[in-house]
Structures are given as C-alpha cells and as structure tokens.
C-alpha cells in the first residue's frame, strides 16, 4: 500500500504540478453569478474595464475571502493560492472581441417593476424641492432625505457601483441612476418606488438628461457607443456607434447636458474631438448643416434619419474633463497631458483660449460665483494640493489657493459666502477646507472624523446647511450649519459618496455640478 502511494507521488512529481486552468475555474466557480462571458449577472462584470477601478482589497483576496455583507462567497477551500492568483490575473485580460450590445440586447435587459404604480402626489409631506439623495456605495443603496428634517424617507437598493451624479427629471419627480456596469435605474421619488432598470452599456461612464426631460444619454466605454433612452419607459431611442471623423472608434469619456443649446456634449477618450448631439425638434441649420465653421461635419441629413444629429468639432488636443459656463456656449477642457487646458466656443466650434492649469485640474468638479464685476470658476487639482480660480471673462488664473492636499469635489451655493473643498488624496484626507468666496482665503479647516476620508459636499435648497460625507463603510453624512460652520447632525451611512439636492440640480445652481 505504502509502495503504491509512493509510486503515484513519484509519477505526479515527474509530471509537475497540475497547471491551473483559470478559464475552467471561472466556468466552475464564477460564471453562474458573473455571467458566462464575464459581463455580469447577479454579480458585477469581471472585465478589465471594471476591475481596474476596484479599490480596496486585491482581486485575489476577494476571491479567496469573499466580500462581507454581499453574496460573494470565499473560495479558499475550493482553490489553492496559486489557482486563485492565476484566476485573478486571467480576469484582468481583455475579452476576445467586443461583445454585441445594441438595441436588441439593451431592450432584452430591460425590467419594468410589475408592482410599480404611479401616484398623483408624493406619499410623504416633505418639501419636494428639498429632497436630497445620498448615494451609499458601501452596500449599493441610496438614502432619500427630507432636506429640512434630515429624516430618511426611504433607502433603496441601486445597481452595483454607482458612478457620477444621478439625474433628476426637470420636475424633480423621477431620478435616474447609473452604475459602472451600464445599468440605468429609474426611481419615482413621489412614490418611493423603483420604476425599472435597463442595461444601456456594458461599461459606462455617466448619464445626462435632456432639458425637456424626454431623453437620457448614456456614455459608454464598452462598446464604443452613446445610448439614448426614452426617460418614459427606458426604451432605446438610439444606439450610436462612436467613431471620429477619420473612422477611429472611441470610448465616450463623459456626456454632459447643455439645456440652453438643446443638446448633449460628449467628451471622447480616443479621438481629439468634441461632439454635440442635438435633441432639438428644430436643430439650428446654421449649426447642424455645416454653415459656420469649416471643420463641422454632419452625420446624416438633419432630423431625417436620426432625431439626434451630430456635430463633430476637432480639438487641438484630447480633452476628457469638461466645465461649461452658465450659458453653455463655452466649454473648458483639461488636457490629458496635464499641462493646461483649452476653452472651446461651441457656437463657432473653435478654441478661443488656452488655460494655465498645470497638474490635472478636475474641471468636472468646478463651480462658479461672482467676484467683483466678473464671474470666476474654481477647480481642485487631482495631483496637487491647489485650487485654481479662473476669471471667466479673460480666462486667466486669478489665484491658486494652496490646500493640504489634492481634492476631488468642490461645492457652494448662491446663498453661501463660502466654497467647500475636500482633500481627497494623501495623508490629510480627513480635512475639509472652507474658502471665502471674496477674499479667496481658507477661513476654516474642518476635521470631523480624524483619520477617515471626508469628502463631497451638497447644500440644502436654501443653502442653510451643508452635507458632508465621511466616506467610510461605517461612515456618516454630517450636516453643518452653512453659516456658523458648526455640526448640527450626524446621520450614519455606509460609505456615502455623492449627495444631490433636487432644487440645486434642477435649477442648475452655480454652486453644484450639472
Ligand atoms: Fe468620478 C462624477 C469621471 C473616479 C466619484 N466622475 C464624475 C463625472 C465624471 C467622472 C466625468 C461627472 C459625470 C456626472 O456626474 O454626470 N471619475 C471620473 C474619472 O475619470 C475618474 C478619475 C476615474 C475613473 O475611472 O472613472 C473618476 N469618481 C471616481 C472615483 O474614484 C470616485 C471618487 C468613486 C467612485 O464612485 O468611483 C468618483 N465621480 C464620483 C462622484 C461623482 C463623479 C461621486 C458625482 C459628483 C457630483 O457631485 O456630481
């Protein structure tokens, strides 16, 4: 018996260790929840586009130990460490070919809730214009807050890994929320009920709402498309393949709403172009039939074969991150090389100024306010501890305010004398600066939860209170008196990220993101 065992062992040693087969392990252990093609199912998509965004524990660690408070089990008993490492590595390899995700697939993914019934009036007594949503990324939920009492009216589940700001319908009644896996969720704030969900892309960036509330545009990385949904029933209005003027396919970095122009504006990852997509019933023939600027190109006859004619504007550089002036004529774009930025005039379709913005400004977080007889725009930088303040008449930098580290989000309100900016990165991530809008000096630095990340601010409708996230799994939303800067309440939440006030959003307040 002993001799037989020794023989088997010798044969096995001669043959070498059994090679790990990650594709087979995936099929056996992961495919049921994450989909046969790694595109997601009950669990999220496991593709490089999604996984490189994974913060916190390494992928191998999650496979080995599972994820607390989720349906992800531990696999350390089923696979040894080498197999797990191989599987984790394999998940980071790109898919073979781009999966088909067109109108048919999107429509097949749509789920409209059978028990959803529209209501005639809100089922609660709060001010509908002062509702504030708090996205809790710790367990993928949103809390619906009364902006006066801070009572939680509802807490509902979202798709996995929500990113970007939810977008409200112009009357503030519905909200649309997007996840990095491309799911769009429609929720009725009056009824406190989900209306439905649809997967508009396989890996998506953000969404934008048309000014009339009829359309929702979804920016996708995978596939390289822009999906336009009807907000009414989440049906597909158009899936547009994104290719630059020379035919190069491109990911869409972000889509922005430009209501006065009745258009969406697209930042593109892989071609040096800005796109403007019109949803106007009467697109301006001067703009959309190529009259004014020589480098405009119209795809298809205006309003004939598509309700969404596209204008492609060549830019001198790749621009990913945008900020618009309040009229939506000017787009400020940050250069990807991190050596400055540009201002593009959307009316004439050309660059009109350069911006002195070294060190990766996060223009998407910019806000504006009146300073003397001009309007300034301020933006934190992702790589330096600095906030740049730019004059929007001359496009010159008025001041660079030194902070305790690079920040991510900035906020103010028309009724507040202050601008709030976090220190998202580095050892001082627990600090929040408060800057005086007129002197451009930091007047107070808050440290409400020592050692914990403190980030993102949203004001209540009247600007009287500022809500700050303690961005941790056992975190909180802290309510501050926006005048005295004293803490008023602390609402426990699971890794709260962004907060979004209905009024500030639907009125396009100058102090908030649009
Ligand atoms: Fe965001 C908004 C891009 C990483 C949380 N983020 C946005 C927007 C863009 C953007 C273009 C504006 C869209 C909108 O709201 O409609 N974000 C990017 C990136 O390119 C970047 C740096 C890297 C990436 O791969 O996506 C990035 N973002 C992050 C994060 O790591 C954050 C902190 C955590 C997360 O959720 O992934 C994060 N981004 C947010 C939030 C908003 C956002 C909370 C909405 C802010 C708001 O107040 O409107």
CA distance 81 to 12: 19
For residue 199, what are the domain limits? 103-127+147-271+273-314
Instruction: Check pocket membership of 496 for ligand 1, CB cut-off 6 A.
Output: no
- Classify residue 432: in a domain, yes or no: no
Q: Is the CB of 365 under 6 A from ligand 1?
A: no
Which long-range contacts (C-beta less than 8 Å, at least 24 apart) are formed by 141-150?
141/494, 142/166, 142/177, 142/187, 143/491, 143/493, 143/496, 144/189, 144/192, 145/477, 145/491, 147/460, 147/461, 147/465, 147/501, 148/460, 150/479, 150/489, 150/491
CB-CB contact of 130 with 502 (8 Å): yes
Specify the residue with its C-alpha closest to ligand 1, atom 38. Answer: 163
Inter-residue contact 392 to 409 (CB < 8 Å): no
Output the DSSP codes for 83-143: HHHHHHHHHTSPPSSPPP-SHHHHHHH-EE-TT----SS-SS-S-GGGEEEEEETTTTEEE
Q: Whose C-alpha lies nearest to ligand 1, atom 36?
A: 163
Instruction: Among 281, 314, 347, identify where a domain stops.
Output: 314
**pLDDT reported for residue 97:** 83
- Return the ligand 1 atom nearest residue 163 CA: 36
Q: Are residues 211 and 172 in the same domain?
A: yes
The residues near 382 (Cβ < 8 Å, ≥ 6 apart) are 359, 360, 361, 362, 406, 408, 425
Tell me: do 168 and 52 sit in the same domain.
no
In a domain, 474, yes or no: no
Query: Residues 54, 115: one domain?
Result: no
- Is the CB of 163 inside a 6 Å radius of any atom of ligand 1? yes
Provide the pLDDT for residue 208: 98
Using DSSP, state whether 289 is helix, strand or coil.
coil
Which residue, by CA, sits nearest to atom 13 of ligand 1?
Answer: 164
Decide whether any atom of ligand 1 lies within 6 Å of the 497 Cβ. Answer: yes
The reported pLDDT for the residue numbered 336 is: 78
Q: How far is 286 from 42, CA to CA, in rounded Å?
A: 48
Indicate if ligand 1 lies below 6 Å from the C-beta of 254: yes
73 and 164 co-located in one domain: no
User: Does the beta carbon of 501 lie inside 6 Å of ligand 1?
Assistant: no
Task: Flag whether 428 is in a domain.
Answer: no
Cβ atoms of residues 186 and 176 within 8 Å: yes
CA of 409 to the centre of ligand 1 (A): 9
Q: What was the pLDDT predicted at 13? A: 42
Cβ–ligand 1 contact at 165 (below 6 Å): yes
Q: Which residues, 6 or more positions from 392, have their beta carbon under 8 angstroms from its beta carbon? A: 325, 330, 368, 374, 375, 376, 377
Residues 160 and 280 in one domain: yes
- Token look-up 């929500």 returns 162
Domain containing residue 167: CATH number: 2.140.10.20
Q: Is the CB of 513 under 6 A from ligand 1?
A: yes
Hey, whose CA ends up nearest to atom 10 of ligand 1? 164
Cβ atoms 48, 93 nearer than 8 A? yes
- Report whether 197 contacts 245 (CB < 8 A): no
- Which of 91, 117, 139 finishes a domain? 91
Query: Using a 6 Å cutoff on CB, does residue 498 contact ligand 1?
Result: yes
CA-to-CA distance for 160 and 456, rounded, in angstroms?
Answer: 20
Q: 261 CA distance to ligand 1 centroid (A)?
A: 24
User: How many A from CA of 163 to the centre of ligand 1?
Assistant: 6
pLDDT in tens, the chain (514 residues): 344 444 444 444 444 455 789 999 999 999 999 998 899 988 889 998 888 776 666 899 999 999 877 889 999 999 999 999 999 999 999 888 888 999 999 999 999 999 999 999 999 999 999 999 999 999 999 999 999 999 999 999 999 999 999 999 999 999 999 999 999 999 999 999 999 999 999 999 999 999 999 999 999 999 999 999 999 999 999 999 999 999 999 999 999 999 999 999 999 999 999 999 998 887 776 666 433 333 434 444 343 455 788 888 999 889 888 999 989 999 999 877 777 889 999 988 899 999 988 777 889 889 999 999 999 999 999 889 999 999 999 999 999 999 999 999 999 999 999 999 999 999 999 999 999 999 999 999 999 999 999 999 999 999 999 999 999 999 999 999 999 999 999 999 999 999 999 999 999 998 888 7
Identify whether residues 79 and 155 lie together within a single domain.
Answer: no
Q: What is the ipTM of this complex?
A: 0.98
Q: Tell me which residue has tokens 């892309």.
A: 201
Instruction: Report how far residue 298's alpha carbon sits from residue 150's, in angstroms, rounded to the nearest whole number.
Output: 49
How far is C-alpha 89 from the chain's CA centre?
26
- Note whether 410 and 366 are within 8 A (CB): yes
Tokens linked to 61: 């660690």
Q: Quick check: CB of 467 below 6 Å from ligand 1? A: no
Question: b/e string for 90-117 if b means 16 or more Cβ within 10 A?
Answer: bbeeeeeeeeebeeeebeebbeeeeeee
Residue 311 to residue 296: CA distance in whole angstroms: 6
Residues 227, 120 share a domain: yes
* Alpha-carbon separation of residue 221 from 46, 65, 218 (angstroms): 15, 30, 10
Is 394 part of any domain? no
Q: Is 44 in the pocket of ligand 1 (CB under 6 A)?
A: no
Same domain, 78 and 117: no
- If one residue of 54, 160, 164, 209 were mutated to test the ligand 1 pocket, choosing by the most ligand atoms within 8 A of its CB, it would be 164
Question: Both 107 and 87 in a single domain?
Answer: no
**Are residue 183 and residue 120 in the same domain, yes or no?**
yes
> What spacing in Å lies between the alpha carbon of 257 and ligand 1's midpoint?
16
**How many whole angstroms from 200 Cα to the centroid of ligand 1?**
18
* The pLDDT value given to residue 226: 97
Alpha-carbon distance of 111 to 108, in angstroms, equals: 8
Residues in the chain: 514
- The answer as to whether 204 is a domain residue is yes
How far is 66 from 489, CA to CA, in rounded Å?
Answer: 34
CATH code where residue 87 lies: 1.10.760.10
Name the β-bridge partners of 197: 111, 185
The Å distance, Cα 176 to ligand 1 centre, comes to 16
Q: Is the dihedral of CA 104, 106, 111, 116 positive or negative?
A: negative
Is the same domain home to 178 and 44? no
**What pLDDT was estimated at residue 96?**
86
Task: State which ligand 1 atom lies nearest to the alpha carbon of 455.
Answer: 33
| Alpha carbon distance, N-terminus to C-terminus of the chain | 75
What pLDDT was estimated at residue 346?
A: 93
Residues 86 and 119 in one domain: no
Q: Is the CB of 53 under 6 A from ligand 1?
A: yes
C-alpha closest to that of 500 among 180, 143, 154: 143
For the record, the structure tokens of 245 come out as: 């003027």
CA angle centred on 169, ends 377 and 161, rounded to 5°:
75
Q: How many domains does the chain have?
A: 2
For residue 405, tell me if it sits in a domain.
no
User: How many angstroms separate the alpha carbon of residue 511 from the centre of ligand 1?
Assistant: 17
Alpha-carbon span 3 to 11, nearest angstrom: 12
Residue 335 included in any domain: no
Asked, for residue 65, whether it belongs to a domain, the answer is yes
Cβ(406) – ligand 1 distance below 6 Å: no
List, in order, residues 6 or more apart from 178 with CB less than 8 Å away: 159, 162, 163, 164, 166, 184, 185, 200, 204, 206, 207, 218
Residue whose CA is at the smallest distance from ligand 1 atom 42: 164
Collapsing DSSP states into helix, strand and coil, what is residue 436? strand
Cβ of 407 less than 6 Å from ligand 1 = no
């Amino acid at each position: 018996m002993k001799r037989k065992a020794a023989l088997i062992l010798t044969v096995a040693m001669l043959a070498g260790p059994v090679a790990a087969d990650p594709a087979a392990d995936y099929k056996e252990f992961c495919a049921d929840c994450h989909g046969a093609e790694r595109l997601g199912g009950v669990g999220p998509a496991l593709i490089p586009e999604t996984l490189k965004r994974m913060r916190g524990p390494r992928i191998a660690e999650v496979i080995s130990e599972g994820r607390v408070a989720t349906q992800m089990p531990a696999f350390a008993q089923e696979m040894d460490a080498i197999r797990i490492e191989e599987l984790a590595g394999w998940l980071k390899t790109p898919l073979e070919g781009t999966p088909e995700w067109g109108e048919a697939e999107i429509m097949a993914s749509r789920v409209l809730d059978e028990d959803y019934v529209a209501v005639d009036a809100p089922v609660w007594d709060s001010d509908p214009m002062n509702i504030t949503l708090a996205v809790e990324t710790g367990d993928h939920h949103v809390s619906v807050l009364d902006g006066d009492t801070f009572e939680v009216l509802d807490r509902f589940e979202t798709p996995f890994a929500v990113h970007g700001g939810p977008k409200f319908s112009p009357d503030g009644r519905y909200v649309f929320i997007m996840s990095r896996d491309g799911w769009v969720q429609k929720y009725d704030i009056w009824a406190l009920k989900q209306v439905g969900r649809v997967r508009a892309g396989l890996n998506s960036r953000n969404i934008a709402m048309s000014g009339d509330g009829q359309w929702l545009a979804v920016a996708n990385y995978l596939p390289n498309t822009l999906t336009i949904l009807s907000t009414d029933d989440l049906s597909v209005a158009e899936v547009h393949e994104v290719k630059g003027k020379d035919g190069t396919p491109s990911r869409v970095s972000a889509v922005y709403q430009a209501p006065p122009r009745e258009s969406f504006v697209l930042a593109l990852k892989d071609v040096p172009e800005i796109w403007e997509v019109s949803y106007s019933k009467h697109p301006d023939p001067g703009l959309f039939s190529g009259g004014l600027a020589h480098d405009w190109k119209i795809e298809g006859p205006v309003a004939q074969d598509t309700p969404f004619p596209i204008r492609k504007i060549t830019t001198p550089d790749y621009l990913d991150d945008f900020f618009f002036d309040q009229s939506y004529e000017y787009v400020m774009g940050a250069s990807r090389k991190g050596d400055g930025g540009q201002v593009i005039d959307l009316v004439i379709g050309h660059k009109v100024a350069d911006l002195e913005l070294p060190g990766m400004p996060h223009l998407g977080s910019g806000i504006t306010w009146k300073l003397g007889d001009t309007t300034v725009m301020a933006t934190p930088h992702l790589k330096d501890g600095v906030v740049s303040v730019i004059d929007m008449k001359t496009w010159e930098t008025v001041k660079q305010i030194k902070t305790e580290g690079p920040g991510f989000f900035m906020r103010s309100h028309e009724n507040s004398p202050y601008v709030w900016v976090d220190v998202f990165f580095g050892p001082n991530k627990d600090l929040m600066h408060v800057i005086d809008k007129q002197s451009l000096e930091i007047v107070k630095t808050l440290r409400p939860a020592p050692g914990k990340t403190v980030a993102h601010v949203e004001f209540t409708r009247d600007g009287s209170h500022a809500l700050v996230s303690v961005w941790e799994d056992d975190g909180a939303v802290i309510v501050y008196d926006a005048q005295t800067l004293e803490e008023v309440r602390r609402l426990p939440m699971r890794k709260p990220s962004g907060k979004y006030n209905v009024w500030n959003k639907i009125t396009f307040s100058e102090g908030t993101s649009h």
